[in-house]
A and B are shown apart, each in its own frame.
Chain A
Amino acid sequence: MNALKIARYQVRDVMRSRWVLLYGIFFLLLTDALFRFGGTGERVLLSLMNVVLIAIPLVAVVLGTMYLYGSREFTELILAQPVRRRSLFLGLFAGLGLPLTLAFVLGTGLPFWAHGGMAGGGWLPLTLLLGTGVALTLIFASVAFLVALSTEDRIKGLGFSLGVWVFFTVVFNAMVLLGIYLLSDYPVERGVLALSLLNPVDLGRILLLLSFDISALMGFTGAVFRRFFGSGLGQGVAISALVVWLIVPFALGLRRFNRKNF
């Protein structure tokens, strides 16, 4: 109950900040432009995919870190009330997660609806794209909370958050490729499979490419995924791994929040 009350006011606060509005407008203009430049629904989805996989983690992790640092004194105020720490944590998380989710889903969904986008392929691919985007939003917001709760120094925290983003979007894949190259004489497929479960961005990419059924763009991990699991099971595994990603950073953040000195 208290979590909902806190979330309501935090949502109001976040909605009034320009960041979230700009974020929503960004997706709105981008999706609309992709349609106008002659895209069919499927092609728009594909172009959007890379933006979703790169921009969403960046925005969620940076805004999440700044948001939690900015809520420090507010947190003290609320914790001096008869409110459990768990309720406050949930309220803070929902207060950021809901506006970001809403901005992304509306910003992307409205143009699709307006242009009658998915006439041919059905709405499932779009739903998957939106779902992946929301999952990445919440995952990277949790990671941001975890970072902000672990470091008192705001600049360090923000730097670390950016580092996490660079790692998952760029460094991770480079490392996997390097590993495959160096170990090309050995059967490394299973290892690569296990590794890709450790990267939510990679999981998002695999999930979307399996459902769009575009092998050419799948990359090594995606191809291994499909060969190993087949498309259907592969999607199931990717979704399950994303769910684990949704739970673990959040739970770690909550644990830290419960023990923290404010």
Chain B
Amino acid sequence: MAMIQIHELSKRYGRLQVLDNLSLEVERGQCTAILGPNGAGKTTLVKSILGLVRPESGRITVDGEVVGTDPEYRRGIGYMPQIARYPENLTGREIIRMIRDLRGNPDGIDETLVTELRMEAELDKPFRTLSGGNRQKVSAVLAFLFHPDLLFLDEPTAGLDPVASSVLKDRILAERDAGRTIVLTSHVMAEVEELADTVVYLLDGRIHFQESVRDLIGGSGEQTLERAIARRITARVVA
């Protein structure tokens, strides 16, 4: 059974139909990239799965559990949001402790990213003094903290320096190889090519195509994922 099953999901904001009867399955143990132009519904889709957005209709299951009012299914999920902003006067360490309190996971936690991202000193400063990149790093630590089976990473490397970005990408690949399911969005196609097994392309709130990265590149005759996707989209429009 797929990790995430979405059946005929619809969501509108006022007149804008953000998700339009969308159905999708995300396979276990893979890294799936959700791509699409701005406003295609990527973030809304991810937030619907997380229960942050309440869809009009449709059904979502995560690891067999129906997404509804019971928050328990989120115990196995790690989430790294696009914008990282937390209570201004708390330190990173306090935020991490709070999330630990809330989760109360018995299986222990994974703080290796703190040392890998060299954040020890930053964790004792109040949030308002942290740079955008350092806030992003705290987000990354939080997402990986509880050995989640399912990870949502919304533009994970945006704002990170090359070293931190590499550390994070290595980590994503390691988690995938350990059998975890990863869903990410990104605007950097080189990064998607490096990390993702499957690409889901959203357009106007529908799935335009869903295909493995290998098939996408192989079938196009192009060298890079970016070119392959560009060709695939224009081909559809012409046809």
Q: Which residues from chain A contact B11 at a C-beta distance below 8 Å?
A: 261
> Measured between alpha carbons, how far is A71 from B89 in the docked complex, in Å?
12
Q: Inter-chain contact count A-B, CB under 8 Å?
A: 82
Cβ B88 vs Cβ A80 within 8 A:
no
Cβ B50 vs Cβ A74 within 8 A:
no
Chain B residues 116-174 with CB under 8 Å of chain A are 126, 142, 152
Question: Interface SS of chain B: helix, strand, loop or mixed?
Answer: mixed
Say whether B53 faces chain A, with CB atoms less than 8 Å apart: yes
> What's the tally of chain B residues with a CB closer than 8 Å to chain A?
35
Cβ A76 vs Cβ B81 within 8 A:
yes
CB distance from A64 to the nearest CB of B (A): 15
Given contacts A2-B102, A77-B81, A79-B50, contact A84 B90 (CB under 8 A): no
Q: Which residues from chain B contact A9 at a C-beta distance below 8 Å?
A: 87, 90, 94-95, 98
Beta-carbon contacts of B70-85 to A below 8 Å, as 1s and 0s? 0111110101010111
Q: Which residue from chain B places its CB closest to the CB of A10 in the assembled complex?
A: B87
Say whether A17 faces chain B, with CB atoms less than 8 Å apart: yes
Q: Which residues from chain A contact B83 at a C-beta distance below 8 Å?
A: 73
Q: Which residues from chain A contact B77 at a C-beta distance below 8 Å?
A: 80
Cβ B74 vs Cβ A12 within 8 A:
no
CB distance from B169 to the nearest CB of A (A): 22
| 6 closest cross-chain pairs (CB), A and B | A16-B89, A13-B87, A73-B85, A80-B79, A262-B52, A261-B53
Listed A/B pairs (16) with beta-carbon separation below 8 Å: A5-B98, A6-B98, A9-B90, A9-B95, A13-B90, A16-B126, A70-B88, A73-B83, A73-B84, A76-B81, A77-B99, A79-B50, A80-B77, A80-B152, A83-B71, A262-B47
Instruction: Write the residues of chain B forming the contact surface with A, with a CB cutoff of 8 angstroms.
Output: 11, 13, 47, 50-54, 69, 71-75, 77, 79, 81, 83-90, 94-95, 98-99, 101-103, 126, 142, 152
Query: Besides the contacts A17-B89, A80-B74, A82-B73, what 7 more A-B pairs have beta carbons closer than 8 Å?
Result: A5-B98, A17-B88, A73-B84, A77-B86, A80-B50, A82-B103, A83-B102
